[in-house]
Structure 1
Amino acid sequence: MLRYTLMRLGILAGCLVVVWGLVYSGIAPRGLGDSNGMWIILLSLLISAPISFVVLRKERDRASIQIVERVDRVKSNLEANRSQEDDAADEVTRAQGQTS
């Protein structure tokens, strides 16, 4: 998961440098007034999203499998804890029934 995130940030940083270069050289339009920095960031996000979607497909699938495995493991742990609590409650109920 961390690897996917770092790769995604790398693509964003690369797009940021390219867009900054295009805006600085005058090939891409500048933002209005003082919004030039925001314009560069938004344009970089817009360009990097589809690139990340296509280029990082295998890495995204790998990260998704890791997340699913982690969620399944947490669910099984919760179910094990729940069954232990039910067993303990049953024992208390049986003990109270025997003393009455």
Structure 2
Amino acid sequence: MSAARTSAAIKYTALRLAIFVGCFVVVVGLVQIGALPKGLGDSNFVWVVLLALVLSAPLSLVLLRKQRDAMSAQIVTKVDSAKARLEANRKQEDGVTQ
């Protein structure tokens, strides 16, 4: 696996995590100042995490389109390469057995 392939996936994952952490910090701040409800009973942490996930998903979808497309292109290239190798191996085996 080349460094370029790895870096696209790592970059996308790191940016996705950064967006989630940013949303989490904003939601915690809004809950602390009372702009958002604290949840029911002991569910405050779960509430904050779920709300951060709900907010970060569409943001990631819009903001990380370029990184997602780059990662997808690299995955497609790798899958096509693997398929070509398998086909070449199959043809070689067919030629040897006949």
**What is the TM-score of this pair, normalised by structure 1?**
0.86
Aligned to 1:3: 11
Runs of 4 or more, structure 1, over 4 Å off, are none
Structure 1 or 2, whichever has the larger Rg, is: 1
How many positions carry a matched residue from both structures?
90
Aligned to 2:31: 23
1:34-77, CA deviations, whole angstroms, 9 ceiling, x for partnerless residues? 11100000000000011111111111111110111011011001
User: Structure 1: 5+ residue runs without aligned partners?
Assistant: 91-100
User: Structure 2: 5+ residue runs without aligned partners?
Assistant: 1-8
Aligned to 1:96: none
* Distance (Å, rounded) in 2 between the aligned partners of 1:7 and 1:77: 33
Over the matched positions of the two proteins, sequence identity in percent amounts to: 56
* Distance (Å, rounded) in 2 between the aligned partners of 1:64 and 1:74: 15
What's the RMSD between the two structures over aligned residues? 0.8
Give 1:83's aligned amino acid: K
**Equivalence map 1:8-87=2 (5 Å):** 8-87=16-95
Query: 1:66 aligns to what SS in structure 2?
Result: helix
* Distance (Å, rounded) in 2 between the aligned partners of 1:68 and 1:85: 26
* Distance (Å, rounded) in 2 between the aligned partners of 1:54 and 1:13: 17
Measured after TM superposition, the shift of residue 2 of structure 1 is 1.5
